[in-house]
Amino acid sequence: MIEYALGFAYLAFGAALVLNLWRLAQGPSAADRILALDTMVINGIALVILIGVSQATAVYFEAAMLLSLVGFVSTVALTKFILRGDVIE
């Protein structure tokens, strides 16, 4: 049963990643693009966890943790750039 669930999850998150790329490329506004990238990071975290589940190992957990801890910093920096031009002022 778990195999089917995992396969479905892979498909769903994979499709989400591709569709996010579509949004990132299309825009139209910069906010759309940044949000698309942020969502891709979230989907990436999910994929890392799924790989860990399917291989029955905890060794990738830190990768997921790190991605969730620092992944949003890029988003923040990009947003700050759009708003103020200067990321650190």
Residues making contact with other proteins (CB under 8 A): 7, 10-11, 13-15, 17-18, 21-22, 24-25, 30, 33-34, 37, 40-41, 44, 47-48, 50-51, 59-60, 62-63, 65-67, 69-71, 73-74, 76-78, 80-81, 83-89
Q: Which is nearer to other proteins, 5 or 11 (CB)?
A: 11
Shortest CB 48 distance to other proteins, Å: 5
Do the Cβ atoms of 50 and 13 come closer than 8 Å?
A: yes
Do the Cβ atoms of 74 and 37 come closer than 8 Å?
A: yes
Q: How far is CA 24 from CA 7, 8, 30, 37, in A?
A: 26, 24, 9, 7
